[in-house]
A and B are shown apart, each in its own frame.
Chain A
Amino acid sequence: MGYTFTLRTIYPYLGTLWQAAGLTLALSLLAIVISIVLGAGIAILRRSHSRLLRFIGAAYVEVMRNTPLLVILYIVYFAGPSIGIRLSSFNAALIGLSLNSAGYMAEILRAGLIAVAPGQFEAAHAQGLTALQTFRYVVFPQVFRTIYAPLGNQVIAVILASSLASAIAVDEVASWMETVGSTSFRFFETFVVAAIVYLVLCQAVNLGRLGIGRMLFRQGAVAR
């Protein structure tokens, strides 16, 4: 026994916590942006006329959703040098996280595209809208509404998943907890602090999403 919870013991390490939190945030935000772009490409593949392209899209999603992120990170990080590409651990983590998240994003975006009935494209065309106008005024508003809630969930999932980057030596928040915990033997305090950082990040996304959702979509609450 004899363990007293004293946050003061980890004051000296709080300076590095900000850097760690910044890294977690940068990694998550970049991975989210990249995986939306990649995911959109895969969602479009899955609606292609070619059976082969549809299969590739579907296979990508299934592989990413059924393989642990940790294994994907190890493959990206360790396979690089084997084929002559040397990746920094941050870049390897970013690539692994983005590739994995793209599998989920593709499904979210595909559900959004399905929500737009094919007749609407024809109707927009008949109205004389250009492809760009069709996207801007017909497709986007409907897709956005459908993907809004799951997109928020995915953003939170990416923030949480970015903690695995610590396994390939990225000094983000989970890694901060492990390093500071093992040097100071204050694992309880470091856990509480790290948990608070993730809680704040995730709940900021969660509450922000609910608030913005209420402003954007008048009728009906945004489902979680």
Chain B
Amino acid sequence: MTVDWLAYAPLILRAAGITLWLSWLGMLVGAVGGTGIALLRLSRWRILRLLALVYTEFWRSVPILIVMFFCYFGVPLVLGIDISPFTAATVALALHASSTMSEVVRAGIQSVGRGQWEAAQAAGLTPIQTMRYVIAPQAIRVVLPPSVGVFITTLKESSLASIIGYIELTKTGLLIRDSTDGGFIPLLALAVIYFLINYAISLGGGALERRFHIGRRLDTVGAMA
């Protein structure tokens, strides 16, 4: 049986868009949450620092797949509400990304010398102004390169949404496989598409690094997915 693979191209492209949207959303929520956790990690109060540490270590030590299972199957049971696979996947991706991003943002904030805080205070800047105009512009140079790595990890992790039945890129590939001859061409195509997307992102990240004159990308914890 010969299959007209090109007929599936529009379907695959749309699915790739869905995967990108899902990962982008997870990454965005994760980055915002991670920044909050990073600020807690650097707080003056020990209890807040401890809470943030426990949060980071917890999500770092639990596989994202079981978090996704819990969000999709467990939360509706516990709270008695319906949760779509999309919401469950986004929440799980965001939780995971937030723990990695909190470490990235923390390293970024800490890379800015202590003297700058004091100088900003002496200049009469409020803490928020200090963050906005003094710390953040410098921290972003340290935060940006590993963030690209976290985004790629999130994109790869988004493939797990297929397991809870969300129809993104991987699930689309599997469905095409089921409806054709069951061979592994759709699976190889999946690998190629993911590779192209991620490689393009990492090349884009490299270009950004050169633009900001930053060194090599740092390896992130738990980057395998």
Contact = CB atoms under 8 A, between A and B. Distances in A.
B2 interface: no
Interface string A36-65: 000000000000000000000000001101
A206 B221 CA distance: 12
Nearest to B164: A178
A206 B223 CA distance: 16
Given A69-B156, A161-B225, A174 B66 contact: yes
Contact of A182 (B73, B162, B174): B73
Contacts of B65: 163-164, 166, 174
A201 to B, nearest CB: 8
B222 A68 contact: no
Q: Does more than half of chain B's interface fall in helix, strand or loop, or is it mixed?
A: helix
Interface in A142-167: 150, 153-154, 156-158, 160-161, 163-164, 166-167
Given A74-B174, A153-B222, A191 B183 contact: no
B215 interface: no
Contacts of A65: 152, 198, 223
Interface stretch (B8-16, B133-141, B186-194): B186-194
A210 B113 CA distance: 27
A188 B78 contact: yes
Given A67-B194, A182-B73, A163 B66 contact: yes
Interface in A6-36: none
B-side interface size class = 35 or more
Q: Which of B60, B63, B170, B187 has the most CB of A within 10 A?
A: B63
Size bracket, chain A contacts: 35 or more
Contact of A164 (B58, B160, B173): B160
Given A66-B198, A187-B69, 9 more contacts: A3-B80, A66-B195, A67-B198, A68-B157, A70-B170, A161-B224, A173-B66, A187-B70, A224-B221
25 contacts: A3-B78, A3-B80, A66-B198, A66-B199, A68-B170, A79-B184, A100-B224, A101-B224, A104-B223, A150-B219, A153-B221, A156-B222, A157-B221, A160-B61, A160-B64, A161-B63, A166-B65, A173-B66, A194-B66, A195-B66, A198-B61, A199-B61, A202-B61, A203-B57, A203-B61
Interface of A: 1-3, 62-63, 65-72, 74-75, 78-79, 82, 100-101, 104, 107, 150, 153-154, 156-158, 160-161, 163-164, 166-167, 173-174, 177-178, 181-182, 185, 187-188, 190-191, 194-195, 198-199, 202-203, 206, 224
Pairs A-B, 5 closest by C-beta atoms: A187-B74, A163-B63, A66-B198, A202-B61, A68-B159
